[in-house]
Amino acid sequence: MEILAIQNLKKSFGSKKVLCGLDLSVPEHSIFGFIGRNGAGKTTAMKAILGLLKTDGGQIYVCGEKVRFGQTRTNRHIGYLPDVPEFYSYMTALEYLHFCGEISGMDKADLAVRSNELLELVGLGQERHRIRGFSRGMKQRLGIAQALLNRPKLLICDEPTSALDPVGRKEILDILLAAKEQTTIFFSTHILSDVERICTEAAFLDNGRIAMQGTIAELRGMRPSDGFIIETEQEEDAGILIKAFCDLKAGEQHTLAFHGSEERFFGIMQYVAENRIPIQRIERIEPTLESLFLEVTK
Amino acid sequence: MKPFFAFMKKEYLEAVRTGRFLILVLLFVLFGVMNPAIAKLTPWMMEIFSDSLGESGLIVTTVQVDAMTSWTQFFKNSPIVLIVFVLIFSDSFTREYKSGTLLLALTKGLSRYKVVLAKSMLLLSLWTLDYALYFAVTYGYNAYFWDNGIANHIFLAAAMWWLFGVWVISLIVLFSSLLQNNTGVTLCTGGISLLTYLLSFLPKAKVYSPALLMNANSLLSGAEEAEAYMKAIAAAAVLAVIFIAVSVLNMNKRQV
């Protein structure tokens, strides 16, 4: 089942067209990476899903219900974490979660259990200080806790890791992975290693449209292999191979990179076998999301 | 109603923990004490200055002070306490727009009209409490030193000033629903108040102008009767309700 469906979404700010016919569908229980450059319109799309922006055209459905601007009943299905979450700094983390639970109409007993459970999950269980003194990473973690509070079917995170150091980033990704059991996660980012680490699906946003969408394996499969790396044991063997095949390029030490058809590659292999050239390693150069991203956003 | 009360509770907690509540109470009590104190000190100050005034040809005779002097001072200081209140609370909405704290509350499904109503309730209740405190302190001292009976319609005059404050608060809410920053809200609220004051010089507009509510001294001295203010009272009350209602409509259309 689709948890989020966007059809032909359009939005401009003045003369600047940010989204021009965005189509997207997010299946249930996926971790969906929404990839795009800074200023590509990721935040705009997310605010439209939350009914915070008036769109110029198109429809958005969350759990099959249509999103309407201003009166946002669909938000009861959604937990949202903004890129830089800001809380009432005079409250403690627990007080803030209680406030959130009360405004979303949660049952009192459930709220007490749930807020403690979530604070433990994000590692703020022992934190008794007011939010004023929280670091950015702590705020980001509290942000996830508040977003998960009313057990949303869809968790939307706007660049949750962009502003964090490597430790903070790892913590957030681990929490998101843990949250996968309970919800569908839709998160925007421009950090491709994060997508490769935790996402099951991804879409590239470019020029206000989805340039490519699919599971991570599908996306990788969209481009043929980038070629092979051949490393010989002896340096002179590398020289012999280069002389025989002019499309091999010398790399570091005795490595040779090859970009070309499979047929040609088998030709090289045959030559290697016939001349009994000892090989250290042969490796296929996998297409990375980065090379794909650079290609689609060209 | 639960979300509304939760947001309301948060508003009071904010006023208390950010120290605004305390500052306001202290200031209003201080101003309340100042009115009778200034009245009480006037003869003494006149005596001190009488020599230098005498040299410049002014002859100071005995100065008579009574409750009326203190009440005049009370209404002279009322605009100042109102301005202080506006300055302290005019960013009640805009602070939340800017920091993005409201955004999170709205994405939790909190209705926008509840935000407008909760914030209006906070401002009105604090203004009521603080103005009552300001009034009670002056009233108490005046009763102790002199006799409050000398001034006519003290309660009505003070209630009129309170209502003017309510009208100004509804302007804060209205402009907060339209504008993005605090400076704009303060300037527009001040601008409209000033414009209303200037318009009240026109004889035809005068009886309906909320600014007439500030003219309490004529009521105290008996120069005007209570009936003369009724249309202005009704106009201020109706306008305040309209402003809040329009704010709710604006807020529903606002892109956060």
Give me the average pLDDT of each 10-residue run along chain A (298 residues): 90 90 90 88 91 90 88 84 91 94 90 92 89 90 91 91 85 88 90 87 89 84 74 85 82 78 83 89 77 74
Cβ-based contacts of B256 with chain A (< 8 Å): 47, 52
- Would you state the pLDDT for residue B106? 87
What does the pLDDT read at residue A109? 93
Query: Distance from B2 to chain A by nearest Cα, in Å?
Result: 7
Q: Which residue has the higher pLDDT, B201 or A288?
A: B201
Residue B54 has pLDDT above 80, yes or no: no
**B14: which chain A residues are within 8 Å (Cβ-Cβ)?**
88, 90
**β-bridge partners, A17:** A12
Write down the pLDDT at residue A61.
Answer: 93
CB contact residues (below 8 A), chain A span 83-112, against chain B? 84-88, 90-91, 99-100, 102-105
Name the superfamily (CATH) of residues A2-221.
P-loop containing nucleotide triphosphate hydrolases (3.40.50.300)
- Given the cut 0.90, state whether the ipTM is greater than it: no
Yes or no, beta carbons of B105 and A103 under 8 Å apart: yes
Decide if A82 and B104 are in contact by the 8 Å CB cutoff: yes
pLDDT of residue A127: 87
- Determine the pLDDT at residue A147: 92
Maximal C-alpha separation, chain B? 73
Asked whether residue B213 carries a pLDDT value surpassing 80, the answer given is: yes
A14 touches chain B (CB under 8 A): no
| pLDDT for res A252 | 76
> Cα A191–A193–A195 angle (5° rounding)?
80
Burial class (CB in 10 A: 0-12, 13-18, 19+), B211: buried
pLDDT, one tens digit per residue, over B216-255 is 777 877 777 778 888 888 999 999 999 999 999 999 888 7
| Among A213-217, B27-31, B96-100, B217-221, the least confident range | B217-221
**Which residues of chain A are within 8 Å of residue B108 when distances are taken between CB atoms?**
75, 100, 103-104, 150
Contact B100 A86 (CB under 8 A): yes
Closest partner CB to A104 (pick from B5, B100, B108): B108
Beta pairing, strands A279-284 & A78-81? unpaired
The answer to whether the Cα torsion of B164, B166, B167, B169 is positive or negative is: positive
How many other CB atoms are there within 10 angstroms of residue B97's CB atom? 18
Question: Based on the number of CB atoms within 10 Å of its own CB, is A252 exposed (0-12), middle (13-18) or buried (19 or more)?
Answer: exposed
Mean pLDDT of chain B: 88
**Are B108 and A150 an interchain contact pair (Cβ–Cβ within 8 Å)?**
yes
Report helix, strand and coil shares of chain A as percent, to nearest 5.
40, 30, 35
Sign (positive/negative) of CA torsion B38, B43, B48, B50? positive
How many residue pairs from chains A and B have C-beta atoms closer than 8 A?
A: 74
C-alpha–C-alpha distance, residues A35 and A44, integer Å: 13
- Listed by start position, the domains of chain A span 2-221, 228-297
Q: Which residue of chain B has the CA closest to A86?
A: B101
Instruction: Determine, for residues A84 and B100 on separate chains, whether the beta-carbon distance falls below 8 Å.
Output: yes
User: Which residues of chain B have a CB within 8 Å of the CB of A87?
Assistant: 101, 104
Q: Which residues of B touch A88 (CB under 8 A)?
A: 10, 14, 101
Mean pLDDT of B117-136: 95
List chain A residues with CB under 8 Å of B99: 86
Q: Which residue in chain B has the smallest CA separation from A147?
A: B108
Q: Where are the alpha helices (DSSP H) in chain A?
A: 42-49, 93-103, 108-121, 136-148, 166-179, 192-198, 216-221, 235-244, 262-274, 289-296
